Amino acid sequence: MTRFLLVHGSAHGAWCWRDVIPALEALGHEAVALDLPGSGDDPTPPEAVTLEGYGQAILGALDRPSVVVGHSAGGFAIRQAAEIDPSHILRLVYLCAYVPRPGASLVDLRKEAPEQPLAGALELNRPRTAFRFRDEAVRQNLCADCPPDATDYARQHLGWQAIAPQATPLRFTGKGAAVPQSYILCEQDRTIPPAHQRRMSAGFAPGDLYSLPTGHSPFLAAPQALADVLDGIVRG
């Protein structure tokens, strides 16, 4: 049995893992999810949200060794946690996620993508400290292959995403370098182009690369298939 800590991406929350948690439990694992600062039910205002705070929140949820899964922008959050204190992190799993590199923020990596499918898809708040996805982007980008009820569920729960942590390069300390890593590429992704995912995961060993025939939200489109891949990763 493995314990999984599931970390959401931009504008999401622990809610997005609702179908994956029971699927992992049925496979004999334990799974929990958290709201990062400023997301889901966490009340932290956007101007107080930091990438360092994301890492500390993840560490606060790790009371014993766990495999930490980060979706999309959550790739930065999980690696920041590993750079602060990897002692309870068995493995990092990037799920169609941004893979940090020294000196580059998530915004920098997004701009490097060969396509920009989210152009015009985001709405900024008035202080320009946060953004959220427009309804059309939820349907066409985030949940392109999700069942209608799952898409509606996402639209009802998606919130604002603080910009500051995504404009901040990750603080590398060297502590996270020894943590095993895996990458799950989503082949039909309309948010982070699959070609960009391949580029970001190019340094991973072949045995640590996996894929799903889904879009950007496999936790809603194919939760059992995602659970099966995660189960396969920890079973080696």
Q: Mean pLDDT across the stretch 135-150?
A: 97
Residue linked to tokens 């790739």: 75
Q: Domain residue spans in the chain?
A: 3-235
The whole-angstrom separation of Cα 196 and Cα 55 is: 24
In this model, does residue 189 exceed pLDDT 90?
yes
pTM strictly above 0.85:
yes
Q: pLDDT of 18-30, one tens digit each?
A: 999 999 999 999 9
- Which pLDDT band holds residue 70 (cuts at 50, 70, 90)? very high
Q: Mean pLDDT across the stretch 211-220?
A: 98
Q: pLDDT of 81-131, one tens digit each?
A: 999 999 999 999 999 999 999 999 999 999 999 999 999 999 999 999 999
Provide the token pair at 32.
């929990």
Burial class of 235 by CB neighbour count within 10 A (0 to 12, 13 to 18, 19+)? exposed
Provide the token pair at 194.
């699959």
pLDDT at 99: 98
Residue 183's φ and ψ, nearest 5 degrees, are -130, 135
In this model, does residue 236 exceed pLDDT 90?
no
DSSP code of residue 35: P
pLDDT at 4: 99
CA of 20: how far to CAs of 29, 77, 109, 138, in Å? 11, 20, 28, 20
Instruction: Report the topology of domain 3-235.
Output: Rossmann fold (3.40.50)
Q: Mean pLDDT across the stretch 31-58?
A: 98
Residue linked to tokens 């014993």: 64
Strands (E), the chain: 3-7, 30-34, 66-71, 89-95, 122-124, 130-133, 161-162, 181-186, 209-212
